[in-house]
């Protein structure tokens, strides 16, 4: 892999794992993703909160009511075990599966950051596939905001981990992967979301400054998000900038396509790298 420590860091969003027609996990997509995971891959997964919500509704016939932060905590705690059970069920049985639940402190504290990096880099040497998720079940929003604000008074760069797109990008900065793959519910970046022929197949530049300038240009076409609480394509492109500066190639693609076909460029996607 040349100068790279890990082959791939990947991330899948919540709605890419859910079959909205049937209000259930999209088992076909989750199984297809899982079967391609192997040592040398680090997988960042969203979905615990939404899957927990759907599971709670199936069991009780109703949704939780009350404080939104408490509801998110309760759904996430319920969905996390379901999510991990399904990854373990479909990942090749020859490989170990390891769960890593992270919070913003793991990227802002040097000692915690080093500990996480070392643990992730041991995984391919030990035949293990790490599954990473933000630890919503124990992350209180008000406390998180206070901690972030306190950090801003002490240092210039603070990682917030607003969502798992940022988490995946920060993981990529830690472990220096060849590829950073972001799976979504669309085929990539569009200049017009209503016109599927406007898919941007490549964003590149002769060097990092030109690449970043071209990313800024395509961010101007990105508006809105697929669901409440999501930050959309503009934020995805912003989070990708730091690992791109380090030489990683980023790919934004649709979760309905196999990882293998995306990497082989036989499925549509947006590829982002220095030429």
Task: Return the higher-pLDDT residue of 252 and 147.
Answer: 252
Q: Is the predicted pLDDT of residue 229 greater than 60, yes or no? A: no
Q: Is the predicted pLDDT of residue 220 greater than 80, yes or no? A: yes
Q: Is the predicted pLDDT of residue 178 greater than 80, yes or no? A: yes
Q: For 6-274, which CATH class?
A: alpha beta
Q: What percent of the chain has pLDDT over 70?
A: 92
Antiparallel, parallel or unpaired: β 249-254 and 177-184: parallel
Residues 143/135, Cβ–Cβ less than 8 Å: no
Q: How confident is the model at residue 141, as a pLDDT?
A: 64
Average pLDDT, rounded, for the chain? 91
Separation between Cα atoms, residue 118 and residue 195, nearest integer Å: 44
* Model pTM score: 0.90
**Share in percent of the chain as helix, strand, coil (round to 5):** 45, 20, 30
Average pLDDT over residues 129-144: 82
Each residue of 59-79: pLDDT tens digit?
999 999 999 889 999 999 999
Q: Is the predicted pLDDT of residue 142 greater than 80, yes or no? A: no
């Amino acid at each position: 892999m040349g100068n790279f420590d890990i082959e791939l860091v990947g991330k899948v969003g919540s709605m890419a794992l859910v079959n909205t027609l049937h209000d259930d996990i999209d088992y076909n997509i989750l199984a297809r993703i899982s079967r391609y995971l192997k040592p040398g891959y680090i997988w960042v997964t969203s979905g615990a909160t939404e899957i927990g919500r759907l599971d709670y509704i199936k069991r009780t016939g109703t949704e939780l009511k009350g404080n939104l932060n408490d509801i998110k905590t309760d759904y996430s705690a319920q969905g996390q075990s379901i999510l991990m059970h399904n990854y373990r069920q479909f990942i090749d049985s020859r490989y170990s599966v390891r769960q890593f639940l992270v919070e913003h402190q793991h990227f802002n504290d040097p000692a915690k950051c080093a500990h996480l990096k070392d643990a992730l880099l041991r995984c391919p040497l030990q035949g293990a596939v790490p599954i990473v998720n933000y630890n919503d079940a124990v992350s209180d929003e008000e406390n998180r905001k206070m901690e972030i604000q306190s950090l801003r008074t002490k240092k210039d760069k603070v990682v917030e981990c607003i969502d798992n797109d940022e988490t995946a990008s920060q993981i990529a900065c830690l472990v220096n992967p060849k590829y950073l793959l972001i799976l979504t519910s669309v085929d990539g970046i569009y200049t017009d979301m209503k016109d599927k022929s406007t898919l941007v197949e490549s964003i590149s530049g002769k060097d990092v400054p030109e690449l970043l300038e071209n990313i800024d240009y395509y961010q101007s076409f990105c508006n809105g998000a697929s669901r409440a609480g999501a930050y959309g394509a503009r934020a995805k492109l912003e989070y990708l900038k730091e690992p791109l500066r380090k030489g990683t190639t980023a790919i934004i693609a649709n979760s309905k396509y196999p990882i293998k076909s995306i990497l082989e460029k036989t499925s549509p996607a947006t590829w982002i790298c220095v030429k």
